[in-house]
Amino acid sequence: MGLSLTTYQPVGFTTSVPLETPKRDAHATRARFLQAGFMEFYTNGFQGGSISHIVEQAGSTKGALFHHFDGKQQLGYAVVDEIIGPLLLQRWLSRLANTNDPIEVLLATFRKYVQEDITTGHFVNGCPLNNLAQEMSPLDPGFHQRIDGLYASWRTGIAEALARGIAAGTVRSDVQPQSVAALVVAAQMGIWGTGKSSQNATQMRTAAEGLYRYLESLRSTKQSNEETL
């Protein structure tokens, strides 16, 4: 999952709605804890993440943190629900929702976020969703349920887009949408995992190129012929 929080706002937060100052300040404080928690868990893992560091990065106090969240576990759940989930929708599914050419959208999305994460250096930390999946899904049912639900939504979104592509004639008619969707999501996990494990941008690009070639092979003959004209 490509990473950038420069435009992120937690779900439900908008500066255009006038609120009383205490409520607005409380919401802003909660948002800072979510952003700080996201970055702390992304950088150091959930179990290795420091509550003290999160509080420091949020510019607040432990008392304020525990006012908004019962503890580290609840903060972690909120990070999945309110940051990682919306980021997944925004980056990997929003453009697929109405397209009849899912191959082009998938290629463009992968190329964008592979390059972005390499340019920013975030690739060395891997994918935030996959990191939590590997670390916490075997240990905590709350994390497992949330993470598994996000991956299921991701696969469903890709499969539905591929089905539309088949109907529109942009995707080969023999493609099995559910199988391809499962493979594409697994490939994303592998590409970012390769970057993290190797700490080598070239290795990550090489893995991504293999996926690009596979996706190109899913185009219908008609679509491929039109692109070569």
pLDDT tens digit string along 36-88? 999 999 999 999 999 999 999 999 999 999 999 999 999 999 999 999 999 99
Whose CA is closest to 31, among 70, 75, 71?
75
CATH number of 80-228: 1.10.357.10
State the Cα–Cα distance between residues 189 and 130, nearest whole angstrom. 6
As given in the structure block, the two tokens for residue 179 are: 């199988």
pTM of the model: 0.82
* Residue ranges per structural domain of the chain: 80-228
**Interval 184-226: pLDDT, tens:** 999 999 999 999 999 999 999 999 999 999 999 999 986 554 5
Q: Please provide the size of the chain in residues.
A: 229
State the Cα–Cα distance between residues 171 and 96, nearest whole angstrom. 14
